[in-house]
Amino acid sequence: MRTLVFASRNTKEITRDIFTLIFGILFPLVLLVLLSAINSSIPESAGMKLFEITNLVPGISVFGLSFISLFTATLVSKDRCTSFILRLFTSPLKSSQYIVGYTLPLIPMSILQTIICYAASFIFGLEWSADILLAVIVNIPVSVFFIAVGLLCGTIFNDKAVGGVCGALLTNLSAWLSGTWFDLELVGGAFEKIADLLPFVHAVNAGRYALSGEYSKIMPELLWVIGYALVITVIAILLFKHKMKQDK
């Protein structure tokens, strides 16, 4: 019950920053519009399309979720840098309950963002199928991963530093190492190997396999994301617990 009360408070804090919410939802849609426009402008005689909507939208939806990390990190770091967190530390909540309380409000927000992204894709030629629902579900572990990264960064950095880490570094990693804009095999070498070790490309691949109905290929990709999410969440809980002991 205490965790739910804390989660409710965090929901109010998140929805209060309406401009950040709108930016987080609309920026991926702007990219979807621009890249779809580029794709449609390529003449048929060229014999290729750079950004087919069935390949593009899973990548854009994952890239959009990277902004969830910024929301999470900003919320946690602001609480840490004010007297609010000191008052919270006097409550009987455990570090794991704090982490859950920060996470719960952001999962519905992540799902909504994914739904909006896929809904907008109908305008650009995406055809309806039940596999779209599966692609949305596949993005839930992906959102948990990005939330976990935000929790970790918010626990470590102050509210000014998280903007650079989650707002710049993470979004760029998500953009360039996910295979959203280009096939990583075309680059190859160390770049492709590094990308394969990180969860971003696996998150995008899982969404693409879900959307195309290649069900047997989803879990091998999604397990990478789930593994990263679990490890980072545990680290965030342990560090948050350490911070609680320091600040008490």
One-letter amino acid of 142: V
- Range of 68's domain? 2-247
pLDDT at 85: 63
pLDDT tens over the chain, length 248 residues: 667 777 787 777 777 767 767 776 777 788 888 877 776 766 554 444 557 888 889 999 998 888 888 888 888 888 777 766 666 666 667 778 878 888 888 898 889 889 998 998 898 888 899 999 999 999 999 999 999 999 898 888 877 788 777 777 888 888 888 888 778 887 878 888 999 999 999 999 999 999 999 999 999 999 999 999 999 999 988 888 777 666 55
Q: Is the dihedral of CA 118, 191, 150, 13 positive or negative?
A: negative
Question: Taking Cα atoms as reference points, which of 160, 180, 187, 194 lies closest to residue 73?
Answer: 160
Describe the crossing of helices 218-247 and 95-103 by its angle, rounded to 10 degrees.
130
Q: Give the helix ranges, DSSP H, for 94-217.
A: 95-103, 106-121, 131-156, 161-164, 171-176, 184-187, 189-197, 199-212
- Would you state the structure tokens that stand for residue 21, as one six-digit string? 């919410």
- Would you state the structure tokens that stand for residue 181, as one six-digit string? 């804009």
**Running DSSP on this structure, what letter comes out for residue 94?**
-
Question: How many of the other CB atoms lie within 10 Å of CB of 211?
Answer: 24
Q: Is there a contact between 198 and 177 (Cβ–Cβ < 8 Å)?
A: yes
User: Based on the structure, what is the number of domains in the chain?
Assistant: 1
What length does the chain have?
248
Strands (E), the chain: none
